[in-house]
Amino acid sequence: MPHSSQPNPSMPSPDMSNAFMSNTSKIEPAIATLKPDLSHLKGVRVIAAMSGGVDSSVVAALLKEAGADVLGVFLHVWDYNREDVAGQGSCCSLDDAYDARRVCDQVGIPFYNMDMRENFRANVIDPFIQDYETGRTPNPCERCNRFVKFGALLDAADELEAAYVATGHYVQRRDNEDGVRIFRGNDQVKDQSYFLATTSKEQASRILFPVGHLKKDGTRILAQHYDLLTANKHESQDICFIPTGNRIEFLKKEGATLGFRAGDIVDREGTILGRHQGIAHFTLGQRKGLGLPNGPWHVVDMDGITARVVVAPPEDALIRQVLVHEQTWIRLPREGEQVLAKVRYQMRPSACTLSIDKDAVSMVFEQPQKPTAPGQVAAFYVGDELLGGGVVAGIDVA
């Protein structure tokens, strides 16, 4: 059950709420073009998922101005070392919780602080460690969305009798007669649809993305319009629970000993090319930092049992066929539709064919692609529409 850090959640005074509304009552024409139509949410209870950043702050302000019954909820997922966070930026740290509370006060909505540390440890941290010990490359943002933000938070919405959860993701929702439809964000640089590929249709039907149509500078313009205290706050980078960016240090601190057993680096024929200090130092497709002669080389396989790392020349590291497990669909592709797929966040969606059964999806790219790794997400699209996705379980070289 969500709880606040004070007996009475940060309920705004009537004067504070009225002050916010009076400041935003005069809409400049240019500002009006940035605002989504949220009039259908008037009087509807909506949870604004507050991260302490500018995107979620604008979401809260837009919902409040539209007349929704807004509850601001911050997810306490990890206990941060203040020295690690300082100067690095973070997501969901103590400072972010403070900023989220102040924005809720500023906008005029209640604030709740949900303790999600146990859930986050079980569904994000522990699998993250295990993957690096066994030769997989995890995607913690996807797992956080699936199990925490769009899992437990929707359960909390039921307890709080909220119809929707609204987030600051750069993703667009455009429903039609067939139901919920999810599309890439208009800002192609910030588009986050890839991380929602394992979100179920039922979850997606209760999630709103009020800034998904905007580019980042448009969101900041709205934040300045509302005079939000996070308007110029810089964004967090890297993995949220590793604000320093030092993955190796984090894994060692968390006791991932199996990932740091020394082993051989070999080519596909088994010729030993060098030694390494643990498979946790590597990801599939990696080419930098290998320190091998006669390169370049790409990592094409890792064995968590033997601690062996296999490398190959770039032309032998490309992939075409990918096996996907844990599949989830917002809608299945129709006959004749050209399906596109991404198996890395920074990848441009590429044409492929799918063979779908109840347990797995076999995907074959029309053109060879740069490597991905088991544990990463495969996201399926038709044009800009996100169909669904799953978790990469295996790959075959081109």
240 is an active site residue: yes
- Candidates 92, 104, 141, 144; catalytic one: 144
Distance (Å, whole) CA 261 – CA 251: 13
91 is an active site residue: no
Backbone angles phi, psi at 183, to 5 degrees: -130, 160
Reading phi first (left if > 0) and then psi (alpha if -120 to 50, else beta), residue 310 is in beta
- Candidates 91, 104, 240, 352; catalytic one: 240
Q: Is the peptide bond before 296 cis (omega within 30 degrees of 0)?
A: yes
Distance (Å, whole) CA 143 – CA 268: 32
Helix, strand, coil share of the chain (percent; to 5): 30, 25, 45
Question: Which residues, other chains included, contact 213 with Cβ-Cβ below 8 Å and sequence gap of 6+?
Answer: 36, 172, 185, 186
Distance (Å, whole) CA 321 – CA 324: 10
Q: Other CB atoms closer than 10 Å to residue 172's CB: what's the count?
A: 22
β partners of residue 190: none
Burial of 28 (0-12, 13-18, 19+ CB in 10 A): exposed
Can you give 188-231 as a three-state secondary structure string?
CCCCCHHHHCCCCHHHHCCEECCCCCCCHHHHHHHHHHCCCCCC
Distance (Å, whole) CA 342 – CA 365: 10
Residue 331's identity, in one-letter code, is R
Alpha carbon distances (Å) from 49 to 44, 54, 203, 225, 263: 16, 12, 14, 21, 44
Q: How many residues does the chain have?
A: 398
> Which regions of 160-291 does DSSP assign to beta strands (E)?
164-166, 171-173, 182-184, 207-208, 263-266, 272-276
Which residues belong to the active site?
A: 144, 240
